[in-house]
Structure formats: C-alpha cells, structure tokens
Amino acid sequence: MFYAAQQRNVPIKEACIHTNMTELELAMQAAELSAEAVKSIAMAIAIGVGVFGPGIGIGLLVSKALESIGRNPEAAKQVMTPMFIGIAAVEALAIFALLVAFVIKFA
C-alpha cells in the first residue's frame, strides 16, 4: 500500500487517512522495501564481481592452451584434457559466486 501511495506522490498523512494505517506501519513498509532493494543491489554486485574473475580466468586459460597447440600441434591431446579440467575448476568459482549471491538475497 505504501508503494502505491509513493508512486502517486501522496503525502504520508494522506496515505494514512486513505489506507487506515498509522505512520509507523507506513514507515515499516518503507523500511522493508528499502531492505529488499539493498539486498537486490548486493546480489547484483556479488554475482557481477564473482563472475568477473572466472570469466577472465577461462579466457586466459583457453588463450594459453590454443597458443600452445598452435606452437606444437602434436601436443593438442595432452593440452586439451588439463584445459577442460581447469575450465571446470574455474567455472566452479562462478557457481560459488552465484550461491553467495542467492544467500545474500534470500537470507
């Protein structure tokens, strides 16, 4: 209810009269909305920063693997297996960042 009153730019006193709510109840609703907004922003920052590192890591890993295959094509099989294991390990960090972001949002 507070959100609807806030969207119409209705003063708090009028919102209290029209919704039969006290000023304290309206303030509590506003605080809850603010807390949810802060949690959403924190979740976005956590996942953004948490995925940034693994993204760079995977890029460097594949870049160096392709560079080594370009220099020695016969070693492609020996390079590809550790590369995929490394990609899986680095991708696990991104999944942990996603998990932390969900904990921030819903805890």
- pLDDT, tens digit (0-9, with 9 covering 90-100), for 47-73: 999 999 999 999 999 999 999 999 999
The number of domains in the chain is 1
Q: Angle at which helices 12-19 and 23-71 pack, to 10 degrees? A: 110
Q: Domain limits at 59?
A: 2-106
For the segment 13-20, the average pLDDT, to the nearest whole number, is 56
> What is the reported pLDDT for 72?
93
pTM (two decimals) = 0.62
Distances from the Cα of 37 to the Cα of 30, 60, 84, 104, angstroms:
11, 35, 38, 12
For the segment 35-43, the average pLDDT, to the nearest whole number, is 85
> What is the reported pLDDT for 62?
94
> What is the reported pLDDT for 24?
74
CATH of the domain at 24: 1.20.20.10
